[in-house]
Amino acid sequence: MGNQIKTTLLLAAMTIFIVLIGKLLGGRQGMILAFVLAAGMNFFSYWFSHRVVLRMYRAREVSPQQAPELYQMVQTLARQANLPMPKVYIIPEQAPNAFATGRNPEHAALAVTEGLLKIMERDEIMGVLAHEMAHVKNRDILIGTIAATMAGAVMILANMARWSAIFGGSGASEDEEGGLGAVGMIVMSILAPMAAMIIQMAVSRSREYLADSTGAALAGRADGLARALEKLGTYSRRLPMTANPSTAHMFIVNPLSGRSLANLFATHPPLEERIARLRGIRRSGGSQAGDRNRPTGDDQAKALWDRLSE
């Protein structure tokens, strides 16, 4: 229920934001047109945004015959999570990464890059897939996909405003129904993408921590995902992914982590902290004796799975 409320609030906030941009660009007429656009986008985002994201990354669906080991791992996790079998996709990209998308568990899809399948051991791939299946189980996928679509729309509107101002368009004048002048439109074209990044950050980063712990429970152990995150952190700096900033929050690790501006608007919690939590390592404080008596990451994963299964 929490994510349903969050999704509704996100759609309402984005509708208001797009209508406001329409008003600034074209006064009252622009506001009406923007409202119609926002209403259409809300409908489109719910039903079709996951398809857009998959096509954006040229993801191709694979069958059990085409990728038997990958398909079998996803099948095992779906059974463990008591969820329908999601569609499985492979992205033709050498940078290792993965994401889940879809409007609900019955229409979910898991996508992994070719690079991830090449560099990861089986238990590490299992950990990554379990993390993404956890997003499906926790119903994070709809809000993440909608946020990606809406953020992309805001960036498109910002580009339209910038080019309109450069080539002489200025929307409604400041005296005519509250439109912006050319200078105002240029300023808005700079600020709007920043607002889009903030929207992505509003999709709570705590969902990544929850997906890590739930994923460790589904996989039955935490060390596979922990080692996978270490590799992903290393490769994301050495081999940056060609990714759209509006979809960065959907991936298991930020594909834009090598870019300084992206770090200012980080969509993911620090990898070091995620790994430490998985391994049951206390970041600060605690005595040596206390640390020796602490359960391991695998013990915590098993205990969490027992609670989830009750």
Q: Which residues are known to be catalytic?
A: 132
Rounded Cα–Cα distance for residues 203 and 308 (Å): 23
Given a contact cutoff of 8 angstroms between Cβ atoms, the answer to whether 49 and 144 are in contact is no
Rounded Cα–Cα distance for residues 26 and 265 (Å): 30
The CA distances from residue 281 to 111, 206, 298, in Å, are: 30, 18, 12
The full length of the chain comes to 310
Q: For 82-97, give the DSSP string.
A: T-PPPEEEEE--SS--
End-to-end CA distance of the chain, in Å? 19
Strand partners, 112: 90, 98
